[in-house]
């Protein structure tokens, strides 16, 4: 546990694997995107999947997949050599279009959960390595966009994780010192960004990373975001 005794007054959430179930959302995206990009060529779709760490036949991501913690632009770059007829910008557009349409599975009922946090006086933000437009589409579909004080994708002007830019921008937006904010995420990218920003770090196990991978970078490892209110209550009582 961090020695920082400042009360937590803000929470900055990763999106995929934290607010939404990663596998149930992005496995569907990968299958739709890869087959669209391959234009019906199943062998090419399989090779495209391999380029981003997705097994099309098994419909699952490798733990090291660039799609898990990387940005859409990094995925487009990895695919570019396999799609010579398309520019990286065109590939990125296709990625974002399919991402916006990807079905989102909430980890907990988000509207109720986030309203509870806001009712406790917490500032709330989202910092994702997804593009901002599909991220907003996903939050809109869940009916929770207005519950956040700040939403940033890797393309919002603050960079992507594991760098601290998005998180420091959130701190500025809500006028809180980083020490009074916790970064909540399911990947080492999230937790490294939180540490780099000088924030507390909360790991959740609803993504692809295991507890033993996340624990060295986390102040606490929780099963999912639904356990955060009880943990915050324990912190305030200690």
Q: Is the pLDDT of residue 236 over 90?
A: no
Q: How far from chain centre, in Å, is Cα 75?
A: 15
**Three-state DSSP class for 140?**
helix
Cα distance between residue 151 and residue 83, in whole Å: 32
pLDDT confidence bin for 4, thresholds 50/70/90: very low
* Residue 43 CB coordination number (10 Å): 9
**Residue % of the chain over a pLDDT of 70:** 97
- Pick the closest to residue 75 from 88, 56, 61 (CA basis): 88
Is the pLDDT confidence value at 237 over 90?
Answer: no
What pLDDT, on the 0 to 100 scale, is given for residue 1? 35
Q: Average pLDDT for residues 219-229, to the nearest whole number?
A: 98
Each residue's pLDDT tens digit, 200-217: 999 999 998 999 999 999
**Domains (range + CATH), the chain:** 10-20+104-237 (3.40.50.1000), 23-101 (no CATH)
Mean pLDDT, rounded, for 138-153 = 97
- Do the beta carbons of residue 153 and residue 131 sit within 8 Å? yes
Name the band, by pLDDT with cuts 50, 70 and 90, for residue 20: very high
Point out the least confidently predicted range of 38-42, 64-68, 198-202: 64-68
């Amino acid at each position: 546990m961090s020695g920082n005794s400042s009360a937590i007054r803000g929470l900055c959430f990763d999106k995929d694997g934290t607010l939404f179930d990663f596998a149930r959302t992005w496995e569907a995206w990968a299958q739709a995107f890869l087959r669209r990009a391959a234009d019906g060529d199943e062998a090419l779709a399989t090779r495209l999947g391999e380029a981003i760490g997705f097994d099309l036949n098994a419909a699952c991501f490798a733990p090291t997949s660039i799609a898990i913690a990387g940005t859409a632009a990094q995925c487009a770059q990895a695919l570019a050599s396999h799609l010579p007829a398309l520019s990286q910008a065109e590939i990125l557009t296709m990625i974002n279009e399919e991402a916006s349409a990807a079905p989102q599975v909430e980890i907990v009922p988000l509207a109720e959960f986030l309203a509870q946090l806001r009712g406790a006086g917490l500032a709330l933000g989202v910092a994702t390595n997804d593009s901002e437009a599909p991220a907003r589409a996903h939050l809109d579909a869940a009916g929770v966009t207005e519950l956040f004080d700040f939403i940033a994708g890797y393309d919002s002007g603050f960079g992507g994780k594991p760098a601290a830019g998005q998180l420091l921008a959130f701190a500025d937006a809500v006028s809180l010192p980083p020490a009074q904010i916790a970064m909540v995420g399911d990947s080492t990218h999230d937790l490294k960004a939180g540490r780099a920003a000088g924030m507390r770090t909360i790991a959740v196990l609803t993504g692809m990373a295991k507890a033993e991978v996340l624990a060295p970078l986390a102040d606490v490892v929780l099963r999912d975001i639904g356990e955060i209110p009880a943990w915050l209550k324990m912190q305030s009582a200690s």
